[in-house]
Amino acid sequence: MSEKLAFGVDSEVGRLEAVIVHRPGQEVANMTPEAVERALYSDILNLAAVDQEYDELLGVLRRRARVFEVRDLLADILGDATVREPLVRRLCAAEGVSQLADELLTSAPAELARLLIEGLPLRKDNLSRFLSRERYSLPPLHNFFFSRDSGMVIGRHALVGNMANPVRGREALLMEAVFQHHPGFEGRTVNLRTLGGDVAGAAIEGGDVLVAAPGVLVVGMGARTTRQAIDQLIEHFRREGATQHIVVQELPASPESFIHLDMVFTMLDRDCCLAFEPVIMQKHHFDTVHIHIEHGRVVKIEEEDNVPAALSHLGLDLEVLSCGGHGDEWVQEREQWHSGANFFALAPGQVVGYGRNEATIAELERAGFAVIPAASVVDGEVDLDQAGRCVVTIGGAELARGGGGCRCMTLPVRRGPV
């Protein structure tokens, strides 16, 4: 990067200017049936098919914004000896393999970045290791292509995820290092430790944090983001003396497709959102709480009917479109399972998502979104600047089996104002 890029995300739908992604690699190809549950997967993905679908997403993103691949960003910072050694030793200590640090530190920056993501194979040079069923001494980061979860930009701050499962802890440490040390980025980096308070039981992941508007967050509370973490956010904004609204949406504990808020609710335009109605729109079935912080104190905590109603009280009136359409509950459930509510905004009223969710795509089309195949954007047949309100569709037959959608796979670090 020739000049510093300042963090800046004040909405979910402002025109995308810069985004961080991670292309799935050998860490996905090397999944085994034995490792599936430990890696938080429900199935083994075919990397060749994933590559084709991911190319569509990358091609669309590059037509709209600067796209940074996290492996390249890591290689950049690992070339700095003052960053490299402390980071590697910290990562190894966190995973109980401090003895691997010296070996890893002999690698060149790009190779070291690869090993930290794809894993370090177990060298079977003694009997215990020879008999071990483990394949890696440093496990692969199978979930890292869901780059949203390990970090989130809120306003001018980059908040590092505090992952709910230890198997994903290294992802957050790597993203934190990129935020803090990459010379091309400018902005304040914070995490739950720096926010103060007890981090025991406090977990927060980016899939649960939506920036609805300046000073307005919507935060999911469930399997991956806890009330303790939300309490720390409240205390942070209180100490900052900020005016801040936090709308908290309780999520079901199961099934696994409800792990994050963005699996049941995403914003499509200034005045339009997509919701999985059985969770978001059933009054008082799952708690929705509005917290208002003003001049360093909490001035209001009250229950709301649902997220759209809470946002309406803050001046954000949203048309609610239904994940899976309105006709059949089974269709709604099936499409939600395959990330049918998980769309990512390229600009106000321009989103990208999985074309496999046909009932959801039809719902968007009825609301005035033109349906555009990703290939038409990538090949230059369609100019997004001239396209108006639209949904760009990528295949998703294989990627969706990983348990996330286009929002999950993108970490925006800068958006234009709405």
Please tell me whether residue 91 adopts helix, strand or coil conformation. Answer: helix
Minimum mean pLDDT range among 32-36, 133-137, 186-190: 32-36
Per-residue pLDDT reduced to its tens digit, 40-55: 666 788 889 999 999 9
Tokens 């709308």, located at residue: 247
pLDDT band of residue 316 (cuts 50, 70, 90) is very high
The rounded percent of the chain whose pLDDT value lies above 90 is: 81
Tell whether the model's pLDDT for residue 287 goes beyond 90.
Answer: yes
**Which residues span the domain enclosing 273?**
5-415
Residue whose C-alpha is closest to residue 19's, from 55, 77, 58: 58
pLDDT for position 39: 65
Tell whether the model's pLDDT for residue 35 goes beyond 80.
Answer: no
Q: Which two tokens stand for residue 130?
A: 């020879």
Looking at every residue in the chain, the average pLDDT score rounds to 93
pLDDT for position 7: 98
| Inter-helix orientation angle 109-118/81-94, to 10° | 20
pLDDT for position 89: 97
pLDDT for position 131: 67
Q: Which two tokens stand for residue 301?
A: 């905590």
Which residues on adjacent β-strands are paired with residue 67? 19
Q: Would the pTM count as exceeding 0.85? A: yes
Please tell me whether residue 292 adopts helix, strand or coil conformation. Answer: strand
Per-residue pLDDT reduced to its tens digit, 152-164: 999 999 999 999 9
| DSSP secondary structure of 391-412 | EEEE--TTGGGGT--TTTT-EE
| DSSP secondary structure of 341-401 | T--EEEETTEEEEETT-HHHHHHHHHTTPEEEEHHHHHTTSS-HHHH-SEEEEE--TTGGG
Decide: 396 and 53 in contact? Cβ < 8 Å.
yes
Tell whether the model's pLDDT for residue 356 goes beyond 90.
Answer: yes
Instruction: Please compute the mean of the pLDDT values over residues 385-414 and round it to a whole number.
Output: 94
Catalytic residues: 408
Question: Which strands form 16-21's sheet, in the order they lie side by side?
Answer: 66-69, 16-21, 411-415
pLDDT for position 132: 72
| Inter-helix orientation angle 329-337/358-366, to 10° | 110
pLDDT for position 255: 81
pLDDT for position 1: 57
Instruction: Please compute the mean of the pLDDT values over residues 230-237 and round it to a whole number.
Output: 92
Rounded to whole angstroms, the maximal C-alpha distance in the chain is: 66
Per-residue pLDDT reduced to its tens digit, 205-223: 999 999 999 999 999 999 9
Residue 282 CB neighbours (<10 A): 11
Structural domains in the chain (count): 1
pLDDT for position 37: 67
Single-letter amino acid, residue 146: F
Contacts by 368-377 with C-beta closer than 8 Å and gap 24+?
369/268, 374/56, 374/57, 374/59, 374/60, 375/56, 377/59, 377/60, 377/63
Per-residue pLDDT reduced to its tens digit, 168-179: 999 999 999 999
Q: CA 267: distance to chain centroid? A: 14
Instruction: Please compute the mean of the pLDDT values over residues 103-123 and round it to a whole number.
Output: 95
Decide: 258 and 223 in contact? Cβ < 8 Å.
yes
Q: What are phi and psi of 202, to 5 degrees?
A: -100, 115
Instruction: Please compute the mean of the pLDDT values over residues 233-242 and round it to a whole number.
Output: 90
Minimum mean pLDDT range among 93-107, 252-266, 267-281: 252-266
pLDDT band of residue 248 (cuts 50, 70, 90) is very high
Domain of 259, CATH number, reads 3.75.10.10
Determine which helix (DSSP H) or strand (DSSP E) holds 333, and give its type and residue range.
helix 329-337
Instruction: Please compute the mean of the pLDDT values over residues 96-109 and round it to a whole number.
Output: 96
Q: Where are the alpha helices (DSSP H) in 17-145?
A: 26-29, 33-36, 47-64, 70-78, 81-94, 101-104, 109-118, 127-131
Q: How far is it, in rounded angstroms, from Cα 260 to Cα 222?
A: 7
